[in-house]
Amino acid sequence: MDGIEEEGAVAAIIVDPKQELPDSLDNNVRPSMSSKKMKLDSENGKSSSAKAASFASLEIISNGTTHTGPSVVLKTDKNTYIFNCPEGTCRFQSAMRLRPNTTYDFFITRGYFRECRLHGPKNIRQYLDDLRPFLDSDKSFDKYSMLMEERNYERGSYQDEILSVQYIPLMIELAKPPMKLKDGNAVTLPDGRTIEPEQIYAEAQVDHGKPFLVADVISEEKLNCLTSSSILQKFMNGSQQLGFITFGDKCEHIVVNGSGGTKTVAPQIDSPYLQQMMLNTLDPITFPLLHPRGFSGVVTQDHGGECPSPNVVVPTSIRRFAVRGKLPMSDLIAFTFTVSGLACRINAAPEVTPLIENFLEYTKSIADREQDKYPQISFLGTSSASPTRYRNVSGHLLHLNQNSVVMVDCGELTYGQLRVLYGEAECERILLNLHTICITHAHQDHLNGLIMLIEKRESAFKKHGLEYKPLILLASRRALKPLTFYSGLFRDLTNLI
């Protein structure tokens, strides 16, 4: 990444549940009306931080092995803080119980397009402002309900009612535990009885005194600015292991960087997998199983992944780790992928069974016919205006022959769809044979995946030691503007097309 990796490429966030924060705080990203109301409340002496969060958890949106790149969330009962927001995150927010109305802060650790949000390197605000006219309008202007503020390391620190942030490295602190029963403290009733929190909410309490650090270091050369930080000195022991920093035996290390073996590869969301499993029973050729192909079992928030050593875990996606208090029992996340479960769903609709049997009988008569393999078309999205659990945005892949591939539209998460539909090896082969992308019109749901695909295509050529072939891009000048903005602010991609 030219120019941008040197600035803000290393990120570290310390969270201390015992740290007390001041009452008067500024906000970072709020809807415009909410910002005005909070400012007015502040002037009137009101404080939005009268209560601290009752619990906090670190949740793995993605470990980087399936649809999207690595992303984690610090979630409290008040606000949500997302660390790296890769392409397609909004598709998985409902599965992870994430609510947009409580998500105001985004932290990025590198100046890559797929992670561009607000807390991070310079030019994030500039890029978002340049991209806004392409939201979903053919007009030359749009009205926006959200005011955005860039918070890079030159701004010093930032605070809200939950966190305190310092940049290079980033530092986030939770407010001290409030004096209420649900917040982990005993309460004495008027009749003299003492009610302990574990009597109401859980069998045991989590240690509230342990901070955690989120770090993203892209190379060993970048370690110096992290290890030399005065804020981190009390946590460092100066050792390294397996490409990531270690902090001794008393610290649990959670590795979320796309590494790990087969045990870390699991579906990131249930809806498209279950839907494809059902369609696969009708026609396995037209509807192949998604990768990781053949996965069967239960994906839960409590376990899954690998443990290379006693204090190192490489988790699957959707894992959740309690930071303060206990995870709410009413908010459990679990996906079931079994043939028996699929059969139960089919048997629950007996009127469908004869229709399936008739269809399978009909297809037998044409199954043995000789058919041409090409051309092939794959629907990477069904032209939804925004990604959802069941549908993705526009993206259509056309195989003209074994060595020639063309794509029509390249919406958000197109690369992730390629990975789960074809697998890593076949996905790379497709990128090597991809010659042309046609963007039909300048809406974000038709072009937001373009930059990711261009970068991944270049990486495929480098990995296989092949001379790079420029990609042919057919698009209007308006559709090319986001690519031009990105090339001017972060990395120049114009030489790749």
One domain, residues 37 and 137: yes
How many beta carbons lie within 10 A of that of residue 113, not counting itself? 22
Asked whether residue 96 is domain-assigned, the answer is: yes
Q: Strands 305-309 and 240-241: what pairing?
A: unpaired
Band of pLDDT at residue 366, cut at 50, 70 and 90 = confident
The structure's pTM equals: 0.64
One domain, residues 136 and 257: yes
* Burial of residue 111 (number of CB atoms within 10 Å: 0-12, 13-18, 19+): buried
Are residues 397 and 405 in contact, defined by beta-carbon separation less than 8 angstroms? yes
DSSP code string of 241-258: ETTEE---TTS-EE--SS
- Total domain count for the chain? 2
* Burial of residue 269 (number of CB atoms within 10 Å: 0-12, 13-18, 19+): buried
Name the least confident of 182-191, 222-231, 286-295: 182-191
How many beta carbons lie within 10 A of that of residue 293, not counting itself? 9
Summarize the confidence of residues 430-457 as an average pLDDT: 92
What is the rounded distance in angstroms from the CA atom of residue 52 to the CA atom of residue 175?
A: 6
3-class secondary-structure state, position 362: helix
Please name the residues in contact with 246: beta carbons below 8 A apart, sequence gap of 6 or more: 237, 239, 240, 253
How many beta carbons lie within 10 A of that of residue 433, not counting itself? 17
One domain, residues 138 and 71: yes
Asked whether residue 277 is domain-assigned, the answer is: no
Asked whether residue 451 is domain-assigned, the answer is: yes
Q: Please give the C-alpha separations between residue 87 and each of 68, 343, 435, 466, in angstroms, as whole numbers.
A: 6, 33, 23, 27
Handedness of CA 350, 355, 356, 358 (dihedral sign): positive
Q: Which of 334, 353, 386 is a domain's end point?
A: 334
For the chain, the first-to-last Cα distance in angstroms comes to 17
User: Does residue 37 register a pLDDT over 70?
Assistant: no
User: Does residue 142 register a pLDDT over 60?
Assistant: no
Q: How far out from the chain centre does Cα 338 lie?
A: 25
Please name the residues in contact with 429: beta carbons below 8 A apart, sequence gap of 6 or more: none
What per-residue confidence (pLDDT) applies to 59? 85
For residue 305, the enclosing domain spans 11-264+295-334
Q: Please give the C-alpha separations between residue 401 and each of 41, 375, 378, 433, in angstroms, as whole numbers.
A: 64, 6, 13, 10
One domain, residues 316 and 432: no
Q: Which two tokens stand for residue 346?
A: 């089919």
- Note the pLDDT tens digit of each residue in 289-315: 888 887 777 777 777 788 888 888 888
What is the rounded distance in angstroms from the CA atom of residue 120 to the CA atom of residue 114?
A: 13
One domain, residues 177 and 32: yes
Q: From 295, 288, 317, select the one nearest 422 (Cα to Cα).
A: 288
**What backbone phi and psi angles, to 5 degrees, belong to 409?**
70, 150
One domain, residues 380 and 328: no
Asked whether residue 360 is domain-assigned, the answer is: no
Asked whether residue 271 is domain-assigned, the answer is: no
Rounded-to-10 torsion of CA 298, 300, 302, 306:
60
User: Does residue 67 register a pLDDT over 50?
Assistant: yes
Are residues 13 and 226 in contact, defined by beta-carbon separation less than 8 angstroms? no
Q: What is the DSSP letter of 470?
A: P
What is the rounded distance in angstroms from the CA atom of residue 174 to the CA atom of residue 163?
A: 5
The CATH number covering residue 395 comes to 3.60.15.10
- Note the pLDDT tens digit of each residue in 41-51: 443 333 444 45
Q: Which of 334, 362, 394 is a domain's end point?
A: 334
Q: Residue 325 — left, alpha, or beta (φ > 0 → left; ψ -120 to 50 → alpha)?
A: left
Name the least confident of 18-22, 134-138, 294-298: 18-22
One domain, residues 259 and 408: no
What is the rounded distance in angstroms from the CA atom of residue 101 to the CA atom of residue 97?
A: 12
Q: Which two tokens stand for residue 328?
A: 């709410």
One domain, residues 128 and 184: yes
One domain, residues 427 and 320: no
3-class secondary-structure state, position 434: strand
3-class secondary-structure state, position 428: helix
Percent of the chain with pLDDT over 70: 60
In 352-476, alpha helices (H): 353-367, 414-422, 424-433, 444-447, 450-463
Asked whether residue 270 is domain-assigned, the answer is: no
Name the least confident of 220-229, 234-243, 433-442: 234-243
For residue 55, give the amino acid letter.
F
What is the rounded distance in angstroms from the CA atom of residue 216 to the CA atom of residue 84?
A: 10
Asked whether residue 354 is domain-assigned, the answer is: no
One domain, residues 326 and 386: no
One domain, residues 213 and 125: yes
User: Does residue 327 register a pLDDT over 60?
Assistant: yes
One domain, residues 80 and 164: yes
Asked whether residue 362 is domain-assigned, the answer is: no
